[in-house]
Chain A
Amino acid sequence: MTAISPAADKAATRETSIAIAEARARARLRRRHALVIGLRLAILVIFLGLWELGADYNIIDPFFFASPSGIFEQIWSWITEGTSQGPLWLQIYVTLEETFLGFVIGALGGIAAGIILGRNRLLADVFSIYIKIANSVPRVVLGSVFIIALGLGMASKVALAVVMVFFVVFANAFQGVREADRAMIANAQILGASPFQITRTVIIPSAMSWILASLHVSFGFALVGAVVGEFLGAKQGMGLLISTAQGAFNANGVFAAMIILAVMALVVEFIITRFENYVVKWRPAPFNEQGA
């Protein structure tokens, strides 16, 4: 047998060629990133441009479908002159406050209920039927009940947001608890963990990715709950702004409020993603999404 050793003198040239290849690959990635951003902007400009032109030439009736410039003017006048219900920031603040309260209460309740039922078979079997029934009620209908019971103030909107959020978070937390790895639980048990320690150090962390996934969706639901609640009857808020605009056949106003709501949702989504990355920093980095 003869051992064959590769020549070592080529190492230096190999290193420089690797550096060049890496630089090229990085440049290619940068160009692709720029292309994606450019295309996104182009689509936005074309879309708004066609809309505006269509409105100008009356192909799209601006009375019903608004126009980008009209929407912009509407937002501008809300910012500078305030709305018919008072300053714009106050409307945003009211809606956000209702959404947040509903979101936090609903999420905490959902997480607690999910963990308790997930850890206790008997309770889960007993309550599952009631949860199914409650979950099958179209929750928006409850808005009317809450308005009657809790009045036109903040409480009725918060209550509606809570029920919108609760079931989503509960279902995910419950599933997350059930999916917790059996070997991991047995390991903790043999290492000496008490049932409470198992819940705290194994069950909750492993359900966390399920719970966080539901928080993304359910913030949107909380916003829906708050806005619909305001539709049904309120003194302040973005929902009232929309329903006032609707009553006055002000399509620009409806679209303008919609855009403001979308921006609010996006900002909070960004914050939740940040929070998620912080909480589950132990997770392997997901496939790197371009430009996200």
Chain B
Amino acid sequence: MQLQTMAAQKLSPAAPPADAAIAIDDVTLRFVTPDGHMMTAIRDFTMTVARGEFACVVGPTGCGKSTTLNLVTGLLRPTTGNVRVMGNPVTDISRDIGFVFQVDALFPWRSVIDNVAAGPLYRGTPKAEAYDKARDWIARVGLARFEKHYPHQLSGGMRKRVALAQTFINQPKILLMDEPFSALDMQTRTAMQDELLGLWSELKSSVVFVTHDLEEAVALADKVYVLTAGPGTVKSVYRIDLPRPRVMADIRYDPKFIEIAKVIWNDLREEVQLGQSRGLQTGH
């Protein structure tokens, strides 16, 4: 490494400590495709997220980024290795988890307030209390005037705000995000990133944020995991020591930010090229 004083500090992957919020320990996941072939989604994957830490996962298309999130929710089970959330093995969908999807996963037949109140209502909170909470969270994401609107009446950015409120209302200790802002335009995305960091700093959740956008990862994260082209495994881990609170609109012009992004990009580039050449061969 030519840069000795850089803010991106390369870490060596180690066995996760016991008190980590999320500990994925040496996990391999294989599955049989519908036409009968064995596919390896991720192999020898180790990842630790401390309590209150913001971790980003970047990697080329199809390297198993989203798979890591589904291991944490319990929707997928590892073939070998184990996954622990808040110290406990993952058996079922944990109440501590919140998930923000890449696609629009709001319920289009429910108004904004009914969407946001869904979580508490599913979990048995009395109606009045659930709606009070929902009103509070809608106000926090700046949509107080839109409580009675239906999702199709809102812009993409506003729908994402609703999705954030819908997730945060359950006050998840673990927050999983699967390229949540990738469908938004640049300006809206920046605003949403600020919104997310604001909510996160209040709630102190542990976050795993999957993205293909390296700059987004560096801007948001405490720690960036770079994955190899599929089957994915951790290529390297970087600690990002940019001071908080960060302002998304400005941080991309910070020389330190640029320096870090360059270093990680050098690491990521060959994987991206590898992934793309493979994609061209298989036609994906």
**Chain A residues with a Cβ under 8 A of chain B:** 181, 183-184, 186-194, 197, 201-202, 205-206, 208, 280, 282-284
How far is the CB of B235 from the nearest CB of chain A, in Å? 28
Closest residue to B176 on the A side, CB-wise? Answer: A190
Contact count band on B: 20 to 34
Residues of chain B within 8 A of A193, CB atoms compared? 118, 122
Q: How far is the CA of A181 from the CA of B102 in the complex (A)?
A: 13
Say yes or no: B118 contacts A191, CB within 8 Å. Answer: yes
Q: Which of B82-112 contact A (CB under 8 A)?
A: 93, 95, 97-99, 101, 103-111
Of B98, B99, B104, B105, the most chain A CB neighbours within 10 A belong to B105
Which residues of chain A are near B109, meaning CB under 8 Å?
Answer: 205-206, 208, 280, 282
- Inter-subunit contact B105/A183 (CB<8 Å): yes
- In this assembly, does B200 line the interface, its C-beta being within 8 Å of a C-beta of chain A? no
Bound-state CA distance A284–B93 (Å) is: 33
12 additional contacts, CB 8 Å, given A187-B101, A284-B153?
A: A183-B103, A186-B101, A190-B97, A190-B99, A191-B123, A191-B166, A191-B170, A192-B95, A192-B119, A192-B123, A193-B122, A206-B109
Cβ of B73 under 8 Å from chain A: yes
Say if the beta carbon of B75 comes within 8 Å of chain A: yes
> Does A188 contact B99, Cβ atoms closer than 8 Å?
no
A264 CB to nearest B CB, Å = 31
Tell me the smallest distance from the CB of A167 to a CB of chain B, in Å: 26
Q: Which of B73, B119, B152 contacts A283 (CB 8 A)?
A: B152
Q: Is B150 an interface residue (CB 8 A)?
A: yes
Q: List 13 A-B contacts (CB under 8 A).
A: A184-B105, A186-B99, A188-B122, A189-B93, A190-B99, A191-B119, A191-B122, A191-B166, A192-B119, A194-B122, A205-B109, A206-B109, A284-B152
A193, chain B: closest CB distance, angstroms: 4
Given A280-B109, A282-B150, are A187 and B99 also a contact pair (CB < 8 Å)?
Answer: yes
Closest chain B residue to A284, Cβ basis: B152
A181 touches B105 (CB 8 A): yes
> How far, in whole Å, are A284 and B105 apart by their CA atoms in the complex?
17
Chain B residues with Cβ below 8 Å from A283 are 108, 152
- Asked if residues B105 and A187 are in contact (CB atoms below 8 Å), the reply is yes
Closest to A280 in B: B109
Q: Does the CB pair B110–A282 fall under 8 Å?
A: yes
Near A by CB (< 8 A), chain B positions 161-211 give: 166-167, 170
CB-CB nearest in chain B for A206 = B109
Q: Would you call A202 and B122 a contact (CB within 8 A)?
A: no
Q: Cβ of A187: which chain B residues have Cβ within 8 Å of it? A: 99, 101, 105-106, 166
Which residues does chain B contribute within 8 Å of A186, judged by CB atoms? 75, 99, 101, 105
| A-contact bits for B120-135, CB 8 A (1 contact / 0 none) | 0011000000000000
Residues B18-76 near A (CB distance < 8 A): 73, 75
Enumerate chain B residues within 8 angstroms of A206, measured Cβ to Cβ: 109
Q: Would B101 and A282 count as touching, CB distance under 8 A? A: no
Whether the pair A197, B122 counts as a contact (CB closer than 8 A) is: yes
Do B152 and A282 have beta carbons less than 8 Å apart?
Answer: yes
Question: How many angstroms between the C-alpha atoms of A190 and B98 in the bound complex?
Answer: 7
CA distance A191 to B268 in the complex (A): 34
Give the shortest distance, in Å, between A117 (CB) and chain B (any CB): 21
Cβ of B107 and Cβ of A205 under 8 Å apart? Answer: yes
- Residues from chain A with Cβ under 8 Å of B103 in the complex: 183
Contact A190 B93 (CB under 8 A): yes
- Which of A188, A191, A206 has the most chain B CB within a 10 Å cutoff? A191
Contacts of A284 in B (CB 8 A): 152-153
B97 surroundings in chain A (CB, below 8 A)? 190
Query: B101: which of A183, A192, A202, A208 is its contact (CB, 8 Å)?
Result: A183
A-chain residues with CB within 8 Å of residue B153 when the two chains form the complex:
284
Chain B residues with Cβ under 8 A from A190's Cβ?
73, 93, 97-99
